[in-house]
């Protein structure tokens, strides 16, 4: 291609190199201060009374490094932020990281054991926490560098950490408010217990693994009238009832009767109860009720006032005083009980079935439902919401946390995208139990409760006087991250940030944490502020490999976003992640797809070289008042592309916007318009052709910018210099091409 202008920027005379460009451009953005909306107002690129767009970053866990799923999340969010900033909105995106208590502690414990052969108790609480904090800080630094590599335009001056002092104050304040209102209580209830990690775990930290199991049908004794079925016969030494459906004709005559039996050397007293939750079609239609080792059975025991003896301890060993079973691991005890049933002639049937086994995500330990003295948040208790902005819950009315979670989505104040996730959300709310918020680990927010003899004190600060001992448990990570949208804006202080930027506009996150995080933010914000945390929830899917498999260490099919960015450029990785990734749908990513988008970055570079080689401030005359019909048609099509892009981004179709902009730039502008213009640049319509090319290039760069910010910013600077633009505003705060 002939270079018709001797003073064209030298950078354009060489092939585009993302390696030489991206870190340099990010530094220019950071130095400009324009990620901060206050600076944008000071520098006159945003009006103080402009509409607001705000968002918080779902804080990545400080457990290591970011993966391709994070890269998708960061890209989608950055597109939304850059788009809204370019539309002149007062745009705030708050970054941060999550201490991820169990995950981080577990990781550090493994490292210490591997390197030193020690556990946390060998080190002691203080020394161990120092090690965890050092690991968390190193991970944080790595994550921040990775985020910058991906081009995120977050306001670093407002960065937060779920375990920093400001967030700790917010946690203590929220806990005390809920405790004083009677929403937080301490009690014996069934929890998910991880015998390996020696702590409770939340439902979201439970991973279900399909395994083969034996399904046994038997009677407790020869004279017991009903057969029951289970995969865990060892727990039956803790049975206090058999539950049947009230309408089941087979068992009606037994309801209310009580029986004694010697079961594997343990005396049990069993009552037959009628309960509508029993499935008549499953097994024998009769359920052996083990209240201390099943959440379902615990609820049945509560309804029928049954005793709840614990027969398994925290180490998954039998704690019954029977020679046959005492101290045996549950798996060993199961074989012993089955053999005993055979010998006694009580075993009626033995089938192989597939079963979902609950395991702890971080340790792999098999979950034991156990009754423990823990801290809980009551989701069904009524309280008065003094100041409410929630439609359908007037100020001063009584409500529940469950009702807040339901109403805010039901009334449309919070919109979930895609829509079909609402059904799943409501189903989860309906079946929600009281939330166990305490964890038996050292890393995390310590529960702000102190004890002295029989006295209990809950406070934001420690009690005065001597002899007080603080509760040794820490809070579930989701408790602190549930406060995220408003704690990062300064709550419990009534800050300007909180007034201006809350509720936030959108929460973009993975669909797998819809309940565990999204629902809890709705719960916390509704209770604390009487408001919603965000207006929209945009759920992205899982990033998979070329064959559609989930990326994992065991498969060795993971792609490191930083390695990819180094090889092909972050721009290429970003647009490759977005194209084909509609909200809520899984997307495939592989090197060839990213490589293809590197060619797109090169195409942008080459097109800019052609335009600037042919159009400059010396040969560009007055802008024509009227263009020829042919050029008018080109500019009309460009306007339509901008209009479509705006509508698609506003309506959560980022993948379509990216695809259409890509197609337009490559196949309309580069392939057609530029080819057709080559002759016209020497003809009678040369000046208006030059104006048309300049307009299409500048507008296209703005449309591409949210998706591929680095190459567009570099080209924009070259264009500005080329035409002697005195204002030289960054494209990042350039005006979005409105229709």
Using only the alpha carbons of the chain, give its radius of gyration.
Answer: 31
565-733 placed in CATH 1.10.730.10: yes
652-658: list long-range contacts, CB under 8 Å, 24+ apart. Answer: 652/417, 652/538, 652/583, 653/582, 654/76, 654/79, 654/80, 654/578, 654/581, 655/578, 655/579, 655/580, 655/581, 655/582, 657/707, 658/575, 658/578, 658/579, 658/707
In sequence order, which residues have a C-beta less than 8 Å from that of residue 590 and are 6 or more positions away? Answer: 545, 546, 559
Q: Does an H or E element contain 241, and which? A: strand 241-244
Q: According to the model, what pLDDT value does residue 314 have?
A: 94
Which among 87, 32, 59 is positioned nearest to 706, based on CA atoms? 87
Question: Using one digit for the tens of pLDDT, what is the confidence trace for 375-398?
Answer: 999 999 999 999 999 999 999 999
Residue in the block written with tokens 């990042």: 732
Candidates 15, 97, 87; CA nearest to 56 is: 97
Instruction: Give the pLDDT score at 330.
Output: 96
Biggest CA–CA distance in the chain, Å, is 107
Cα–Cα nearest to 438, from 486, 375, 371, 503:
375
* Domain ranges across the chain: 207-368, 565-733
Answer positive or negative: Cα dihedral of 664, 666, 672, 678. Answer: positive
pLDDT at residue 635 tops 50: yes
DSSP string, 473-485: -EE-HHHHHTTHH
| CB atoms near residue 633 (< 10 Å) | 11
With bands split at pLDDT 50, 70 and 90, how would you rate the model's confidence at 554?
Answer: low
**182, two tokens:** 């009677």
Q: Is the CB of residue 133 less than 8 Å from the CB of residue 176?
A: no
| Long-range contacts formed by 657-664: CB under 8 A, 24+ apart | 657/707, 658/575, 658/578, 658/579, 658/707, 659/579, 659/580, 661/700, 661/703, 661/704, 661/707, 662/575, 662/579, 662/600, 664/638, 664/700
Half-sphere exposure of 301 (CA within 13 A, CB side): 23
Q: How many CB atoms lie within 10 A of CB 699?
A: 18
Beta carbons of 58 and 508 less than 8 angstroms apart: yes
Domain 207-368 fold is Isoleucyl-tRNA Synthetase; domain 2 (3.90.740)
Q: First CA to last CA across the chain, in angstroms?
A: 33
Burial of 80 (0-12, 13-18, 19+ CB in 10 A): buried
pLDDT at 15 over 80: yes
pLDDT of residue 2: 42
Neighbours of 181 (CB within 10 A): 13
Q: Which residue has the tokens 């998954």?
A: 316
What pLDDT band is residue 552 in, cutting at 50, 70 and 90? low
CA distances from 328 to 194, 216, 334, 635 (A): 17, 20, 9, 80
Confidence band for 522, pLDDT divided at 50, 70 and 90: very high
Whether the predicted pLDDT of 3 surpasses 80: no
CA distance 334 to 231: 9
Mean pLDDT of 209-234: 96
How many CB atoms sit inside 10 A of residue 603's CB? 19
Q: 18-32 and 125-149 are packed helices; what angle lies between their axes, rounded to 10 degrees?
A: 110
**What band does 26 get if pLDDT is binned at 50, 70 and 90?**
very high
Please name which of 546, 291, 532, 240 lies closest in space to residue 409, comparing C-alpha atoms. 532
pLDDT reading at 716 higher than 80? yes
Dihedral of the alpha carbons of 118, 121, 125, 126, in degrees to the nearest 10: -40
* The two three-digit tokens of residue 495, written as one number: 């800050």
Strand blocks (E) in 81-205? 90-94, 96-97, 160-161, 184-194, 199-200
Residue 551 has pLDDT above 80, yes or no: no
> What's the pLDDT tens digit per position in 426-454?
998 998 888 999 999 999 999 999 999 99
462-502 tens-digit pLDDT: 999 999 999 999 999 999 999 999 999 999 999 999 999 99
**3-class secondary-structure state, position 393:** coil
pTM (predicted TM-score)? 0.88
Average pLDDT of 401-414? 96
How far apart CA 632 and CA 627 sit, in angstroms, is: 6
What pLDDT band is residue 553 in, cutting at 50, 70 and 90? Answer: low
Helix (H, G, I), strand (E, B) or coil at 292: helix
Vertex 666 angle, CA 661 and 669, to 5°: 90
Output b/e per residue, 241-271; b: 16+ Cβ within 10 A.
bbbbbeeeeebeebbeeebebebbbbebebb
Cross-strand partners of 397: 385
The Cα–Cα gap between 660 and 662 comes to 5
650-675, pLDDT tens digit by residue?
999 999 999 999 999 999 999 999 99
* Spatial distance between the Cα atoms of 330 and 314, rounded to a whole number of angstroms: 11
Average pLDDT over the chain reads: 93
- pLDDT above 70 covers a percentage of the chain that reads 98
User: Distance from CA of residue 467 to its chain's centroid?
Assistant: 41
């Amino acid at each position: 291609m002939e270079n018709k202008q001797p003073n064209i920027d030298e950078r354009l005379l060489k092939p585009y190199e993302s390696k030489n460009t991206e870190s340099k451009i990010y530094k220019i953005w950071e130095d400009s201060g324009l990620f901060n909306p206050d600076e944008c107002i000071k520098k006159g690129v945003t009006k103080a009374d402009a509409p607001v767009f705000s968002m918080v970053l779902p804080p990545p866990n400080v457990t290591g490094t970011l993966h391709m799923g994070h890269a998708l999340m960061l890209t989608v969010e950055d597109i939304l932020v850059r788009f809204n900033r370019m539309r002149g909105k007062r745009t705030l995106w708050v970054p941060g990281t999550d201490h991820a208590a169990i995950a981080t502690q577990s990781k550090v414990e493994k490292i210490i054991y591997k390197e030193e052969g020690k556990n946390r108790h060998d080190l002691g609480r203080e020394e161990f926490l120092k090690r965890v904090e050092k690991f968390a800080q190193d991970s944080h630094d790595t994550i921040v560098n990775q985020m910058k590599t991906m081009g995120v335009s977050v306001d670093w001056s407002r960065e937060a950490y779920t375990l920093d002092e400001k967030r700790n104050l917010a946690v203590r304040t929220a806990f005390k408010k809920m405790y004083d209102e009677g929403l937080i209580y301490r009690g014996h209830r069934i929890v998910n217990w991880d015998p390996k990690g020696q702590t409770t775990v939340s439902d979201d930290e439970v991973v279900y693994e399909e395994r083969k199991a034996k399904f046994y049908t038997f009677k407790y004794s020869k004279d017991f009238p009903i057969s029951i079925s289970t995969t865990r016969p060892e727990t039956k030494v803790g049975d206090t009832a058999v539950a049947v459906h009230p309408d089941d004709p087979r068992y009606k005559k037994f309801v209310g009767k009580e029986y004694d039996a010697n079961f594997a050397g343990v005396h049990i007293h069993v009552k037959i109860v009628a309960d509508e939750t029993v499935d008549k079609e499953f097994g024998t239609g009769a359920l052996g009720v083990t209240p201390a080792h099943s959440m379902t059975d615990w609820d049945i025991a509560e309804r029928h006032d049954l005793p709840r003896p614990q027969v398994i301890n925290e180490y998954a060993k039998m704690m019954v005083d029977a020679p046959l079973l005492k101290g045996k691991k549950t798996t060993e005890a199961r074989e012993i009980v089955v053999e005993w049933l055979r010998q006694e002639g009580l075993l009626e049937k033995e089938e192989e079935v597939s079963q979902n086994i609950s395991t702890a995500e971080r340790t792999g330990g098999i979950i034991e439902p156990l009754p423990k003295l823990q801290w809980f948040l009551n989701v069904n208790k009524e309280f008065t919401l003094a100041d409410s902005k929630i439609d359908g819950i007037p100020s001063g009315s009584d409500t529940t946390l469950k009702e807040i979670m339901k109403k805010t989505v039901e009334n449309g104040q919070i919109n979930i995208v895609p829509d079909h996730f609402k059904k799943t959300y409501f189903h989860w709310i309906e079946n929600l139990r009281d939330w166990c918020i305490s964890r038996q680990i050292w890393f995390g927010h310590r529960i702000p409760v102190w004890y002295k003899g029989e006295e209990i004190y809950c406070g934001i600060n420690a009690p005065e006087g001597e002899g007080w001992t603080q509760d040794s448990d820490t809070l579930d990570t989701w408790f602190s991250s549930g406060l995220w949208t408003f704690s990062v804006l300064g709550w419990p202080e009534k800050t300007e940030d909180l007034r201006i930027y809350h509720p936030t506009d959108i929460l973009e996150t993975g669909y797998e944490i819809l309940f565990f995080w999204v629902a809890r933010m709705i719960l916390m914000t509704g209770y604390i502020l009487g408001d919603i945390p965000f207006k929209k929830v945009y759920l992205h899917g899982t990033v998979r490999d070329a064959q559609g498999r989930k990326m994992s260490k065991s498969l060795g099919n993971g792609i490191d976003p930083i390695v990819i960015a180094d090889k092909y450029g972050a721009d290429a990785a970003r647009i490759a992640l977005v194209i084909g990734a509609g909200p809520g749908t899984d997307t495939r990513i592989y090197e060839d797809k990213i490589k293809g988008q590197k060619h797109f970055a090169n195409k942008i570079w080459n097109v800019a070289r052609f335009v600037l080689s042919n159009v400059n401030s010396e040969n560009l005359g007055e802008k024509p008042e009227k263009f020829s019909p042919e050029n008018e048609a080109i500019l009309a099509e460009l306007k339509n592309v901008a209009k479509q892009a705006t509508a698609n981004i506003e309506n959560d179709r980022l993948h379509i916007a990216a695809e259409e902009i890509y197609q337009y730039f490559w196949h309309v502008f580069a392939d057609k318009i530029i080819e057709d213009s080559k002759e016209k640049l020497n003809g009678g319509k040369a000046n208006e052709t030059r104006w048309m090319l300049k307009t299409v290039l500048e507008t296209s760069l703005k449309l591409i910018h949210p998706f591929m910010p680095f190459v567009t910013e570099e080209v924009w600077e070259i264009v500005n210099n080329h035409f002697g633009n005195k204002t030289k505003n960054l494209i990042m705060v350039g005006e979005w091409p409105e229709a």
